Amino acid sequence: MTQTVPNGPALDREARGDSATGLPPVPQHVHGAADLASRPTVQERLDRRRRWQGLALVAAPVLVVVLFVGVPVVNAALFSLGFTGGLNQALADIGGDTVRGFSFAVYGTLLGNATFLRDLVATLGVTALSTGLTVALAVAVAVILRLRGGFLGKSLSVLAVVPLFVPVVIASWSILTFTDAQGFLRSLGAQFGLDVPVWGYTLVAVVFGSVWTSLPFAVLMIAGALQGTPDALVEAAKDAGASTWRVVWEVLLPMAKTPLVIATTFTVIGVLGSFTVPYFTGPNAPTMLGVDISKYFQAYNRPQQSTAMAFIVFAFAAAASVFYLRSTVRSNARELEKQKQEQP
């Protein structure tokens, strides 16, 4: 029996791991660690599915906001700048004094109008005064509830949130019946020989109504923040000889800084764009811009000018919201830093 012995070159190829016949070796699939690592795990697949489910749930409300808020806002902004085609064609044809062609002519005309400037100053003045009174009253109620409590604190807190459950229309009419020439205050003053001023259909009545409608939210925000202040801080300040005023000014209010900013910002925005209270209780001139916007759109048939007024109000509201956003970002940054420090 004979045995074939491969020649020298064949032996060399076999030593290198190649085929002795000179043909390329058959590749073999090797399941390495890289292949196993590239496969998604069960947890990764679940996380990916949850992300897609979350996006699907968020897509519907986002789409509604974009279609029914975002698109009209952009379209209105273009209309105020002179774009009168497309969806704005009907308003441009029906409305009077329409400016066509991209420009800031509408805004220039408004800012050069003495009547509009008077109403703008009145709006900003009422907003500033109403916001100051609202925040001051809310802080007073919250401090009394935090430091004293008892029947007085609970009664004030309940009375402060009562306007939350009273419709604005009814509240406006009630304020008017209290402050006009034949109202309760004048009648009560007449019983004692006092000549009480007539505040109905004046900006004073608008301030009363704005404070009434804005106070509940401010009280809830500030009182909640002060109630969350640790008792140890208050007691430590008192043990160190701090007066009640110093405890409020240097302990309680700094701890409620973010809620104070939030309450102030939302009060400013609410009063700036208010319509019902100034419409029912305010004078014919000067008027708040919320009433002006309605008059220019309906009574004067000048939709382009009313749209420009709305964006001017929006600009002031956006400027006020900067403080809210800044305070919120700083508060969130402090919370994240605190969590990082607590981690081992």
CATH for 157: 1.10.3720.10
Query: Worst-scoring range by mean pLDDT, 80-89, 179-188, 224-233, 328-337?
Result: 328-337
Q: For all residues of the chain together, what is the average pLDDT?
A: 85
Residue with the bigger pLDDT between 119 and 87: it is 119
Q: Is 14 within the bounds of a domain?
A: no
Token reading at 277: 């209270």
Q: What is the pLDDT of residues 71-117, one digit of tens each?
A: 999 999 999 999 988 888 888 888 888 889 889 999 999 999 999 99
* pLDDT at 11 (0 to 100): 47
Confidence of residue 25 (pLDDT cuts 50, 70, 90): low
Residue type for position 205: A
Token reading at 234: 């208050």
C-alpha to C-alpha distances, 245 to 85, 137, 144, 253, nearest whole angstrom:
61, 16, 12, 11
* DSSP states along 285-334: SS--HHHHHHIIIIIS--HHHHHHHHHHHHHHHHHHHHHHHHHHHHHHHH
Work out how many domains the chain is built from and give that number: 1
> Is residue 5 pLDDT above 60, yes or no?
no
> Is residue 306 pLDDT above 90, yes or no?
yes
**Tokens 């014919």 — which residue?**
284
- Dist CA 271 CA 310 (whole Å): 14
Q: Is 102 within the bounds of a domain?
A: no
Residues 6+ apart with CB under 8 A from 342: none
Q: Is 164 within the bounds of a domain?
A: yes
Residue type for position 46: L
Longest dimension (CA), the chain: 145
- Dist CA 80 CA 98 (whole Å): 9
Confidence of residue 27 (pLDDT cuts 50, 70, 90): low
CB 287 within 8 A of CB 300: no
Handedness of CA 200, 202, 207, 213 (dihedral sign): positive
Q: Is 207 within the bounds of a domain?
A: yes
Helix spans in the chain (H): 8-15, 33-38, 42-65, 71-80, 89-94, 105-111, 114-147, 150-161, 168-179, 184-191, 203-227, 231-239, 244-247, 253-255, 257-272, 276-281, 289-294, 303-342
CB 266 within 8 A of CB 217: yes
Which 3 state secondary structure label does DSSP give 7?
coil
CB 281 within 8 A of CB 180: no
* pLDDT at 87 (0 to 100): 85
* pLDDT at 150 (0 to 100): 78
Q: Is 218 within the bounds of a domain?
A: yes
Confidence of residue 337 (pLDDT cuts 50, 70, 90): confident
- Dist CA 288 CA 119 (whole Å): 6
Domain that holds residue 282: 113-287
Handedness of CA 178, 184, 186, 192 (dihedral sign): negative
* pLDDT at 33 (0 to 100): 52
Q: Is 137 within the bounds of a domain?
A: yes
> Is residue 279 pLDDT above 90, yes or no?
yes
Q: Is 201 within the bounds of a domain?
A: yes
Q: What is the pLDDT of residues 162-184, one digit of tens each?
A: 898 999 999 999 998 888 888 88
CB atoms within 10 A of CB 216: 18
Q: Is 293 within the bounds of a domain?
A: no
Confidence of residue 28 (pLDDT cuts 50, 70, 90): low
* pLDDT at 323 (0 to 100): 87
Report whether the peptide linkage leading into residue 303 is cis, meaning its omega lies within 30 degrees of zero. Answer: no
Confidence of residue 1 (pLDDT cuts 50, 70, 90): very low
- Dist CA 35 CA 44 (whole Å): 16
